[in-house]
Amino acid sequence: MDSFIPTGRTQVRRLPQRAVYDKARIYSILDEGYICHVGFALGGQPYVIPTCYARVGDWLYIHGSAVSRMLGALERSAAVSVTVTLVDGLVLARSAFHHSINYRSVVVLGEARCVTDPAEKLEALRRLTNQVVPGRWEETRTPDELELNATSVVAVPLREVSAKMRSGPPVDDDRDLSLPVWAGVVPIRTLPGEPVPDGRVLPEVPVFDTGRLTRASKSGG
């Protein structure tokens, strides 16, 4: 199917015209992001933890230390909520009430699965690394056995998913249009700065090319 079927948990009810269920659009948001927020409950206490992620086909992979409280909780009780949000602009209105933010956000609900197959785990780690910098895994040392044992990976199926988006200018009331206040959108973009070496880079190694960070070059598979 080309779209996710909304469920009772993922149906967007507040401003439903902003809802997106199309898979291609949702996957493009996931592929563009760097950080997700993982929600889970442990001992009756809810937690939301930011972490790196990667999409591989219809799965979302999350990794961390083998002693991570978050991953330990997901391995024992698999219910999880994952969100990714991209900020595209600040929406400045003539009234404080109508200020907003242009954004694209995805919510994933599901049951996390601990990745135990060595080949799947290694591929997930490769994709997680390349989610940050395309091709980075292929140019660095791969994890050794000790590092792999110290790392846990969980997979969340992309089945119960929805997105919500806002774009465009502020929606001011007619009564406020005559106010001498600037209104419009201030675009927000995440752009790389000048690379800063750690002081131990070998002389023959070229400076990191920030052009590799363009999200258009990425593919979630």
- Bridge partner list, 174: none
Condensed to tens digits (0 to 9), the pLDDT of residues 59-93 reads: 999 998 877 778 777 777 678 999 999 999 999 99
Residue 10 resides in a domain: no
b/e code 90-120 from CB counts within 10 Å (16+ = b): ebbbbeeeeebebbbbbbbbbebeebeeeee
Question: Is 40 part of a structural domain of the chain?
Answer: yes
- 169: in domain: yes
HSE, CB side, 13 Å, CA atoms: give it for residue 106.
Answer: 27
Q: Is residue 209 part of a domain?
A: no
pLDDT tens digits for 118-148?
Answer: 999 999 999 999 999 999 999 999 999 999 9
Q: How many domains does the chain have?
A: 1
CATH number of the structural domain spanning residue 144:
2.30.110.10
Q: Is the dihedral of CA 108, 111, 114, 117 positive or negative?
A: negative
Neighbouring CB atoms inside 10 A of 22's CB total 12
Instruction: Tell me the pTM.
Output: 0.89
CB contact at 8 A, 115 and 194:
no
